[in-house]
Amino acid sequence: MFFIKCLLIAAALLSVAKAGNPLTTCMAGRAQGTEPLTQSGSCEYGAYNSPTGPGTFTATLNEYFYSSGVKCGDCFEITGPLGVTTVRAVNFCSKNTCPSEKPLFMLTPDAFSQISSEALSVVYDAGFRKVSCDATGPLKGQLTNDTSKYYVKVLLFNNNVGIQTVSIKGQGMEVAEPMVRQNSAQFVWSKPGAEMKFPANVSVTSQYGSTVQMTIEAFDQEILTFNDNFEIPRNVVKGAPEKCILSQSPATIYSDSLAEGWDYWSSRSYSDLNTTDTTVFSTGKASLSVLLMGNSSYLSLTRSGDFQTEYFTGIKFSVRSDKVWSGLRVYIRPDSFWSPSTNITTEWSTHTVSFDKIKHNSVEKTITFGNTQDMEVKMYLDDVSFVVSTKPVTTGYSSTENSKELATSTTAGATSTHSATTGITASASTAGSTTTGTITAGNPDENNSHHSSSSFLKAPSTLMVALFAMMLFLF
């Protein structure tokens, strides 16, 4: 029994030690599933399962967010509809191929399956934050095969936080000289007319000011081990939430066409679906029209990657029909619906459905417009949008612009005055304007662990010593 108790205590301590420490507030991004890959990409870590490889929980970033390789090796906690996953940045996708209006994370299958049940889909409203990496042991390096005494290139890997600067000092050098990042996790020293004499000392400083060192004795491609890993800063984000919730969806769902990330799903009992019907519209130049063919026919508007309901108090829409119609029902959950107090007619009418009146969860995917009358009716929808909550709350999260700066920044301070409850920047865009707000909400109780059972054997030595001392004390 005593041994079992010790194991339980050890497991608890290990779970604390292995959790990523938040290094930024939560921010809005986009996550996408990808096919399995064998090489880690532009950061030059090599094969996923190689000695320098990053493993299979990794992300390809869009060029906007990659920051010329500065993000290589950084770890991010990504939130999707199923929960969270933590990934290491290892690659980038060019701005011509990948959207660049916000940070994009293209996740490996192992990682994406933890936040979404739909492989290769897109989570348009992913939340994310930078966290410390679950790195076992010290920072490591390896000289590349094109290294010479005139050109020294080293790959750095297994870092637990982002790398800021690298310098090298060989024999006979009065001062250390900088090594330049090569749009990757590789750093180069080269100086016209000069040669590097070994042994040489390499110093690496993190984005938070911690420095580690190693000595290169000679030209070879053995794995090089630094004296330690970086010191992980604590309390960078004051009162950080356990994890981020989904970021806030843009308020607009339909205006002349379905907004990005929205699609439709219809029952079999429909026809003549037109998402840009220019013959009839309330405002703008088009509406969404569909012929609902009898009782239980419906049209559902679906959000890829789901939406977080706490940001909104309801939905607003304009509707008309081709005849007098009393059978409209609007719902998120089929066992709880809203119906208008008056009939829908051939004239446009605008309605607001309060989320307080219909059942819903914190994370939902669809909004459904159904017909309960045993007749065919042509329904026209226009100007469909969320009603953004105006409830005053105090969270202390960064503004939308500050979030963008945090997302693309190459450096970070060791302390911050940010506080957090949900930890997410709430930003809703509507028809040419942007409203920014914050909201207090609880966090879904999802499991954030993807580590194997063998992780216990790889615990930091300081923790093992502490456990051993504790057991001696208890005995």
Segment 57-96, tens digit of pLDDT: 999 999 989 999 999 999 999 999 999 999 999 999 998 9
Question: Which residues on adjacent β-strands are paired with residue 200?
Answer: 216
Most confident segment among 23-32, 260-269, 416-425, 459-468: 23-32
444 occurs within a structural domain = yes
Same domain, 384 and 256: yes
Q: Are residues 159 and 278 in the same domain?
A: no
Whole-angstrom distance, CA of residue 369 vs CA of residue 256: 18
**Tally of domains within the chain:** 3
Q: Under 8 Å CB-to-CB from 473, ≥6 apart: which residues?
A: none
Considering only residues 409 and 192, tell me which one the structure prediction assigns the higher pLDDT.
Answer: 192
Which domain, by its residues, includes 21? 2-135+238-246+402-464
CA distance 172 to 158: 30
**Residue 165 in domain:** yes
Do 127 and 242 share a domain, yes or no? Answer: yes
Residue 395 covered by a domain: no
Same domain? 335 vs 457: no
Residue type, 33: G
- Asked whether residue 172 falls in the same domain as residue 195, the answer is yes
Per-residue pLDDT of 397-419, as tens digits, reads 355 445 455 555 544 433 343 44
Q: Which residue type occupies 221?
A: Q
Q: What proportion of the chain, given as a percentage, has pLDDT over 70?
A: 78
The runs of H, that is alpha helices, within 383-457 are 400-408
Round to whole Å and give the CA distance between 123 and 362. Answer: 16
Residue 232 in any domain: the answer is no
Average pLDDT of the chain is 83
Residue 239, SS3 per DSSP? coil
Strands 297-308 and 312-321: unpaired
Q: How many beta carbons lie within 10 A of that of residue 92, not counting itself? A: 28
Q: Is 80 exceeded by the pLDDT of residue 394?
A: no
Query: Does residue 209 contact residue 165 with C-beta atoms inside 8 Å?
Result: no
Tell me, yes or no, whether 22 lies in a domain.
Answer: yes
Find, among 368, 369, 373, the residue nearest to 294 by Cα: 373
Evaluate whether residue 267 is within a structural domain.
Answer: yes
Report pLDDT digits (tens) over 268-319.
677 899 999 999 999 999 999 999 999 999 999 999 999 999 999 999 999 9
Angle at alpha carbon of residue 239, lines to 429 and 244, rounded to 5°: 45
Instruction: Return the pLDDT at 271.
Output: 84
Does 115 fall in a domain?
Answer: yes
| 194 class by beta-carbon count within 10 Å (0-12 exposed, 13-18 middle, 19+ buried) | middle
65/168 same-domain check:
no
